[in-house]
């Protein structure tokens, strides 16, 4: 069944219906239009975005998901909904289009990047790793990227004694970006002992040594291949925005994980809160970018009791 969600309970995102104007959504490309939103019976207007060139637009309001006591799982499933509309075509005749979602942050207000998340080449150190070592030895060789771009070759580490980053193959900033640690394009090389050697390099793929990270990394320490991808979880992606108000709805967001692997069906491990995120005209960022589009009714809410949020008013 659908549900009506009024202002005082309009999802979990403050002022998502724009009843208080552009509060939480200020940006140099954004202007507030007080009428003409998607629902005539409850019209608080919309945000007008001119151009954009794919630049990111992060709102100021905070959404805190409901996590279990040890912060390892969501207590509820969630859905994100946004209404969009192309207002004017660009000079090449293209409609607007792009990526809308959420920007995730940890408890220390650090934005969470895919390179800090596990899920790719999850394995363990097969030998102790110390500051000054030229190689990291690991148990498994599956799934390690050998791409030339360094941002695909982070060695992300979960030191067992770390107070925040010890949970295996979930969230750790050690490897990216505190500090950034890379392995070579050779990837894992088998040794005579049967484990695999990763050569520690800098971002230019030149040999260097393992830095002092302040925590011991004994045999059995979890490691993963931190790899760049979609910078944000784009839950409300739509390639082209129609010229009528159109509802974009996410899939069910059902747990914690790596959004680049599970197709935007999770929030990231390590999450504390999220902000709204828009990549402005990202579909046509190489074009003239002189068109405009509208956005309204930013909604994030738990999916419980049979709700489908088919009519967010």
Q: What does the alpha-carbon distance between residue 241 and residue 294 come to, in Å, rounded to a whole number?
A: 9
The third-level CATH classification (topology) of the domain covering 7-113+232-302 is Jelly Rolls (2.60.120)
Span 257-304, pLDDT tens digits: 999 999 999 999 999 999 999 999 999 888 898 999 999 999 999 988
Q: Do 196 and 141 touch, CB atoms closer than 8 A? A: yes
Predicted local confidence at residue 312, as pLDDT: 62
User: Does 309 or 293 have the greater pLDDT score?
Assistant: 293
The sheet with strand 30-33 has its strands ordered as 30-33, 46-50, 292-302, 78-88, 246-249
CA-based nearest residue to 114, from 276, 269, 222: 269
Span 193-237, pLDDT tens digits: 999 999 999 999 999 999 999 999 999 999 999 999 999 999 999
Q: Do 10 and 39 touch, CB atoms closer than 8 A? A: no
Predicted TM-score (pTM) of the model is 0.93
Could you tell me what percent of the chain has a pLDDT over 70? 96
Could you tell me what percent of the chain has a pLDDT over 90? 79
Is pLDDT above 90 for 15? Answer: no
Q: Which helix (H) or strand (E) holds 221?
A: none
Find the farthest-apart pair of alpha carbons in the chain and give their distance in angstroms, rounded.
73
Q: Is 207 exposed, middle or buried (0-12, 13-18, 19+ CB in 10 A)?
A: exposed
Predicted local confidence at residue 309, as pLDDT: 76
Q: What does the alpha-carbon distance between residue 63 and residue 102 come to, in Å, rounded to a whole number?
A: 9
Q: Do 218 and 200 touch, CB atoms closer than 8 A? A: no
Span 103-127, pLDDT tens digits: 999 999 999 999 999 999 999 999 9
Span 143-195, pLDDT tens digits: 999 999 999 999 999 999 999 999 999 999 999 999 999 999 999 999 999 99
Predicted local confidence at residue 4, as pLDDT: 46
Query: Reduced to 3 states, what is the DSSP secondary structure of residue 123?
Result: strand
Domain limits, the chain: 7-113+232-302, 114-230
Any residues with CB less than 8 A from the CB of 166 and at least 6 apart, and which?
158, 159, 160
């Amino acid at each position: 069944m659908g549900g009506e969600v009024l202002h005082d309970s309009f999802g979990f995102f403050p002022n998502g219906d724009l009843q208080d104007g552009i509060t939480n959504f200020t940006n140099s490309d954004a202007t507030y239009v007080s009428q003409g939103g998607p629902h005539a019976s409850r019209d608080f207007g919309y945000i007008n975005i001119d151009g954009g060139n794919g630049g990111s637009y992060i709102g100021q309001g905070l959404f805190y998901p409901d996590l279990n006591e040890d912060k390892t799982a969501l207590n509820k499933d969630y859905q994100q909904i946004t209404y969009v509309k192309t207002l004017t075509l660009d000079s090449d005749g293209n409609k607007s289009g792009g990526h809308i979602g959420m920007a995730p942050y940890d408890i220390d207000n650090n934005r969470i990047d895919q390179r800090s998340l596990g899920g790719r080449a999850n394995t363990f150190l097969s030998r102790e790793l110390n500051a000054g070592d030229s190689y990291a030895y690991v148990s498994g060789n599956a799934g390690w990227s050998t791409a030339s771009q360094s941002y695909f070759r982070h060695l992300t580490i979960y030191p067992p004694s770390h107070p925040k980053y010890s949970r295996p193959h979930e969230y750790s900033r050690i490897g990216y970006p505190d500090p950034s640690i890379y392995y070579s394009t050779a990837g894992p090389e088998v040794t005579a002992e049967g484990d695999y050697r990763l050569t520690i390099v800098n971002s230019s793929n030149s040999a260097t040594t393992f830095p002092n990270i302040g925590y011991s990394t004994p045999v059995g320490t979890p490691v993963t291949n931190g790899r760049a991808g979609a910078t944000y979880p784009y839950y409300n992606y739509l390639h082209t925005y129609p010229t009528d108000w159109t509802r974009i709805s996410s899939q069910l967001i059902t747990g914690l994980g790596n959004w680049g692997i599970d197709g935007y069906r999770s929030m990231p491990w390590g999450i504390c809160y999220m902000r709204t995120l828009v990549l402005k005209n990202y579909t046509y960022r190489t074009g003239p970018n002189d068109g405009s589009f509208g956005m309204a009714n930013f909604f994030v809410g738990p999916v419980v009791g049979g709700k489908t949020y088919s009519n967010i008013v």
